[in-house]
Structure 1
Amino acid sequence: MLFEVWAPQAGRVDLHADGAAYAMSPDPARPGWWCREASADDGSRYGFALDGGPVRPDPRSRRQPDGPDGMSAVVDFARFGSGPEWAGRGLPGAVLYELHVGTFTREGTFDAAAGRLPHLAELGVTHVELMPVCPFPGTHGWGYEGVSLWAVHEPYGGPAGLRRFVDAAHALGLGVVLDVVHNHLGPSGNHLPAFGPYFTDTHHTPWGAAVNLDAPGSAEVRAYLTGSALAWLRDYGLDGLRLDAVHALADSRPKHFLAELSAAVDGLARRLGRPLFLIAESDLNDPATTRAREAGGMGVHAQWNDDFHHALHTALTGESQGYYADFAADPAGALAKTLRGGFFHDGTYSAFRGRRHGYPLDRRATPAHRLLGYAQTHDQVGNRALGDRLSARISPGALACAAALVLGAPFTPMLFMGEEWGARTPWQFFTDHTDPQLAEAVRTGRRREFAAHGWPEEEIPDPQDPATRLRSCLDWAEPGRDPHASLLAWYRQLIALRRAEPALAAGEWLGEEEPTVVPGPCVGFRRGALFVAVNLADRPVELPTAPDVTYEEVVAAWRPVALPEAGGGLRLPAETAAVLRCLER
């Protein structure tokens, strides 16, 4: 087997494999690379020593059986077999489901999560989006402090467990998307700086020195990240990647890293003969993120749309703190604007930022399905002081309204695990740092952050307490009893309606004059021959009927809704959503 490693600053590199040491040789064809042939099998332990220093794991390690600081292990992917026949599943028409392996079940493993996949297939979603699975110190955590960007967290089940999960999902017709973090690595267990200039002080991020995308040595760092992304898609059969916080990828080179990555993924999709896609998390509201590369964009296939979330959240809860302040002045208007054009901040002034923010989308060049719409995500729940979900603050009727807006909007919908039954379990911030000083710093920092916003420190969950993670695990007994069972049935009905009605899943933008909004707020908009009507108010509200529309039937409703009299408006009970079929006169 050929072992190789990039270590451009080393004068000597030794391979340590299965208890033996071998001197490695510089690769004359690739400056900075070292290589050595050695006997190894699946599971063989190995690492590299630089200039007589300690043995460190391989930066491209595919498995870390003993955690980020242990020896790497060889993985023979041929042993996994080919898996079920799978032609792939693209993004248009999709319904995504964000899932954290460690809290989807109390067991917190890939195999336990795979046992719950029939629930998702019955729900009707098309893709499972896994939160990060790269190794991190300890057993439990969110995954955004991962290291070893080519490997899989061993307590979840390691590489074999991930492959079993993907195969199980594909066997049920579910695609799998993986959340990957390229903008930083965790503060503990990161051995990359010992090998080369993976980071640079040229730019700074909230996590410190930036990943080196444009300083000397950046070509190899970019290849490292791209190679990792392609390996997830190729070796595990994944269908897409979610890219964390791409606005933190500082890159001044003429061709941005995202454009390089999207081109590489498109090339792999052509070679494999199945669709692959990238979804960016971006705070920039920049249409260039999803604009075609040929038109000067990054070519990413979709991006999260936090503006839709913020508008919907303020309309549902009335909250106005932090970034919600920009949306709270006119929640109905903000919601209507995002439904109509995607971004709320499209060059408008943001009081939260103290400046103008964003750019308008060109609706002709950007299909609506390139934006993801959601009412809840791991960020928007877990970054609250108590990790409280919408279900802790609003009624089942209001939750049903949120579902109708997410699943009826022109965007690609995404659900956060447990949302479909109004889970009452919180989803809190939890860590399992093995470094006592780091653990205390995280614990203290979390409490001080929220204490500054008025929360008593004693009420802030301790991230290091195992009970914090256990509280965040889904309670799978809830879906079997009301009001959870009724809400679950509503989600299933709406998702089935998306499958049955192509106009709902087409990703086409609303008409320029839509949606209709009346105080309450009550919102209505057309999706082909269907009309989605949502009353978020705690009282009945009447939506005016357009002069060229006649309602034919009520297709779905959270509470009974009567067809209006000729020429009359559509009267919606309090906290009710309905989908009606209409005829144009």
Structure 2
Amino acid sequence: MAPIFDLLERRKDKFMLWLPAGLPNARAPYLVIGTFDKGPPPTVYETNISPFIKSRHPDLWELDPKTISPPLKDNTVYHYWYEINDLSPEGLGAIQVTDPLAYTIDYRSLRSRDEHSQPASVIKFRDGKLWPCDIDGNEPGPPPIPSQDSMPQNNHMVIYELPTSWSRYKDEQQNDQDVQIDVGTFTDVLALFNAKVAGKRFAGIPAIDNQAIVAELGINALELLPAADAKPIGQWGYATANYYATDFDLGTSGELVKLVEKIHTLNTRFFTDVVMAFGHDPYVYIDFRQFHLDQNAPEEQRSPDRMQSHSNQPRDGYGGRLWRYSWPVDANAQPIVTSSYDPESGQVIDVHPSWAFHKGHLHRWMTSFGVDGLRLDSINNIANYDFIKSYKEYAWSVYNSRYPSADPSKFLVIGEELSDPLDLITSGTLNALWNESWQTRLRALLLGETANGDNFEWTVRKMVNCTLDSNHPFTDGSQSINYITSHDTEGYRKERLYNFLSNNKVYDIERRAKFAFALFLTAVGIPMIFAGEEFVDQMDRPISDKQSDPVNYERKAQDWRSRIFNYVSNMVAFRKTCPALGDDDTEFIHVDESRGGKIMAWKRGGQGQIPVVVVANFTDEDTEGTEYVIANWPDKEKSGWREVTQQRDVPAEWVGREPLMHWEVKVYTYWRA
């Protein structure tokens, strides 16, 4: 059973508003509540404006729905706001804000999504209590807890990083204005896993209607880019506004539950992306000083929250408001107030408001949606190791509560900090990091180049085995998230693989893409595929913003792209199941100095395991003659050797002797699934 989060339990019986540290307010907050009529025009008809009363707990305001007059109607969906005095730096006066704990919000209640507009919160009144519901009144329950045995271990995961909203393209000959972006939904994602689901906005597109593309790819971990509510339309959700609610444009809680239920039946873990450096949430107006930081305020010049970690740069709110992770201080840098009602325990203790708020939505997402892992965005911009560690540990406590004896290899908290400061791992702050250096090395090698000051051989060695990187020595492959491409497609050599190769005048894209994926899916570390790279999608718009060019699944139907997709899906299946690829042990057995060290071979797998041998030709020339000998081939006398990428058996007399074509990787083993 999941640990109790006190404030979330209380909101089942009453409307609740937490104002930490005795916030001074000109008047008590009010509840503004009514019923929704879709119109036109859409309208919320107000039925009541009622004042909150102070709870017996300091800093907690409450309102029993049974005391509202005229009485609320049973089994009815209501839209509501909290009316407060705006305490943001702008000071807009009395305004209506979204419930910070709202599980569902409805932007139909607004005429525009301007900076200060707040959508209505949605709740159902039934049997004298408040029940979370979708806008249609559906009350989704959490997905069933999957069998622990069915979930993949971290070191056998292949993650699929998916912007939940993607694009559709009308005609390859038309210009980029015909690319429609930000039109995907949770149901459209479900269609990628279930061929019987047509999707919502993608119904009628053969690639979605007739196939379960991602299920066919065979990945076993789905990472959705932020699925919590964000106000902007046409982006991927890195402007979180309502942390406890699913994104209104992506779909309802019930639709997300159906997606998670489906992928769990496919033995696939669910990861979600979380943005906690900055936000656009209601506490900007309700209690700015306790929750948020104004870097320009004179009293904040000595605040420990001002600067990024691992740099001398100020934190960046990217148009939002920075979250405060240390207590607000006075002119002498002394904490102002620290004791408050604790939303987690229900006790009056020293509380970091932002810490407690974020743990609350973590509890919501893990218990309501069966989250099996987390990716935390922009760790350096959060800039507080203590908070991150506390958040990570709370995530683990909720995960551990699912099973009588939880398997620690089947949950993971990943951070994005592109300088790869491994003290985030060694200190126990996080479990894993994005390995930006891996992408740098792989992309250099695809052009026959070196990277990061190493010679060619050591560029390969460190790409193959991240534990050999002296600057960032990961101690276990499950700590390193490797990627050819990520959603950060802006910047030098960050674009999609197709565009990277084209921009560097590499025209045998099919061959080079297969080469890249063979290296990628046999290297030490957890591979993460950015959606669309499995069929080498390409940019439809200029590379100017990571959020402007989501994946286009219609391209997968092209013949050469389908061949790459089939190649990748074969290698994904191998990566998930082969024991040697879940181990960190790597031995380099061949470096061909006669070719500048650009034909190399290495063995994956530790003592007692059936080895995997990878042979790679990083040159533009085929090997001469009818054979190419690897003198140190392991277990050469064993029967049953096969070449994985071509799915063929290798005759005993050809083991360790097969020729290589230019830019070719061959993967050998006698292990069988």
Alpha-carbon offset, residue 306 of structure 1: 1.0
Q: Which amino acid counterpart does residue 396 of structure 1 have in structure 2?
A: E
Q: Distance in 2 between matches of 1:489 and 1:284?
A: 34
Please state if 1:13 is matched with 2:29: yes
CA distance in 1, matches of 2:483, 2:544: 26
Are 1:377 and 2:469 counterparts? no
Q: 1:111 aligns with which of 179, 187, 190?
A: 187
Aligned match for 1:536, one of 618, 623, 637: 618
Q: Which amino acid aligns with 2:643?
A: V
Q: Distance in 2 between matches of 1:7 and 1:532?
A: 59
Counterpart check, 1:25 vs 2:25: no
**Aligned residue number for residue 38 of structure 1:** 65
Partner of residue 556, structure 1: 644
Q: Which one has the largest radius of gyration?
A: 2
For 1:206 and 1:158, how far apart are their aligned partners in 2? 31
Say what the alpha-carbon RMSD is for the aligned residues: 3.4
> Structure 1, unaligned stretches of length 5 or more?
320-324, 347-358, 429-458
Q: Is the partner of 1:414 in helix, strand or coil?
A: strand
Match of 2:631?
A: 545
Tell me: CA distance 1:82–1:69, structure 2 relative to 1, closer, same or farther (3 Å). Answer: closer
Contact 1:281/1:304 (<8 A) preserved: yes
Match of 1:198 in 2: 291
Q: How far apart are 1:383 and its partner, in Å?
A: 5.0
Distance in 2 (CA, whole Å) between partners of 1:279 and 1:500 is 22
Distance 2:665 2:353 in 1: 52
Bigger drift between 91-100 and 162-171 goes to 162-171
Q: Could you tell me which amino acid in structure 2 is paired with residue 304 of structure 1?
A: W
Q: CA deviation at 1:128?
A: 0.9
Contact preservation (8 Å) 1:57, 1:191: no
What residue is the counterpart of 2:5 in the other structure? Answer: none
Query: Deviations for 1:52-76, whole angstroms, at most 9, x for unmatched residues?
Result: 7111112222222116721122224
Instruction: Indicate yes or no: 2:619 matched with 1:494.
Output: no
Q: Contact conserved, 2:164 with 2:236, CA < 8 A, in 1? A: no
Structure 2 residue 250 is matched with structure 1 residue 250: no
Distance in 1 of aligned mates of 2:601 and 2:546: 42
Corresponding residue number in structure 2 for 1:207 = 317
Q: CA deviation at 1:3?
A: 1.6
Q: 1:191 to 1:213 in 2, by over 3 A?
A: closer
Partner of 2:240, secondary structure, is: coil
Partner residue of 1:127?
221
Q: Secondary structure at the match of 1:150?
A: strand
Match of 1:301 in 2: 431
- AA matched with 2:436: D
Cα drift, residue 419 of structure 1: 1.2
Shift of 1:163: 1.9
Offset, 1:114: 0.8
Contact kept in structure 2, 1:16 and 1:47, CA below 8 Å: yes
Q: CA deviation at 1:315?
A: 1.4
Kindly report which structure 2 residues correspond to 1:439-450, keeping only aligned pairs within 5 A, or say none: none
1:532-559 Cα distance to aligned partner (Å, 9 max, x none) = 1222322225674327563863422469
1:480 CA displacement: 3.3
Q: Which residue of 1 aligns with 2:354?
A: 221
Gaps of 5+ in 2: 1-12, 35-45, 67-71, 86-92, 108-112, 124-131, 169-179, 194-211, 296-302, 307-313, 329-337, 339-350, 606-610
Match of 1:86 among 120, 129, 146: 146
Q: 1:91 to 1:140 in 2, by over 3 A?
A: same
Residue among 378, 387, 390 paired with 2:498? 390
Shift of 1:384: 6.4
Percent same amino acid among aligned pairs? 19
Alpha-carbon distance, 1:130 to partner: 0.5
Q: Give 1:282's aligned amino acid.
A: E
| TM-score, normalisation: structure 2 | 0.68
The structure 1 residue matched to 2:245, chosen from 151, 156, 160, is: 151
> Aligned partner of 1:577: which letter?
V
The DSSP-based 3-state class of the residue aligned with 2:401 is helix
Secondary structure in structure 1 of the residue aligned to 2:83 = strand
Residue 420 of structure 1: which of 525, 534, 552 is its match?
A: 534
Pair 1:82–1:337, CA change in 2 (3 A):
closer
Determine helix, strand or coil for the equivalent of 1:108.
coil
Counterpart of 2:127?
Answer: none
Contact 2:158 2:576 in 1 (8 A): no
Give yes or no for contact 1:104–1:417 (8 Å, CA) kept in 2.
no
Q: CA-to-partner distance for each residue in 1:273-321, whole Å, 9 max, x for gaps?
A: 2654311112342333233xxxx422x23221111111101111468xx
Identify which of 42, 52, 56 aligns with 2:97. 56
Q: Partner letter of residue 73 of structure 1? A: V
1:339 has 2:421 as partner:
no
Q: Which residue of 2 aligns with 1:4?
A: 16
**1:443 alignment partner in structure 2:** none
Deviation at 1:422, TM superposition (A): 1.8
| Residue 576 (str. 1) matches residue 664 (str. 2) | yes
- Equivalences, count: 511
SS at 2:249 equivalent: helix
**CA deviation map 1:27-46 (0-9, x unaligned):** 343x4332222257674212
Residue 579 of structure 1: how far off its partner (Å): 0.8
Within 5 Å, which residues of 2 pair with 1:451-530? 472-476=550-554, 478-504=555-581, 506-511=582-587, 516=591, 519=596, 521-528=598-605, 529-530=611-612
Residues 163-202 of structure 1 mapped to structure 2, 5 A cutoff: 163-185=257-279, 192-196=284-288, 197-200=290-293, 201=295, 202=303
Partner Cα separation in structure 1 for residue 386 and residue 485 of structure 2: 30
Aligned-pair distance for 1:563? 7.8
Change in Cα spacing, 1:397 to 1:344, as seen in structure 2 (3 Å) is: same
Q: Distance in 2 between matches of 1:580 and 1:405?
A: 13
CA contact (8 A) 1:377 1:416 kept: yes
Residues 110 and 156 of structure 1 are in contact (CA less than 8 Å); yes or no, is this contact kept in structure 2?
A: yes
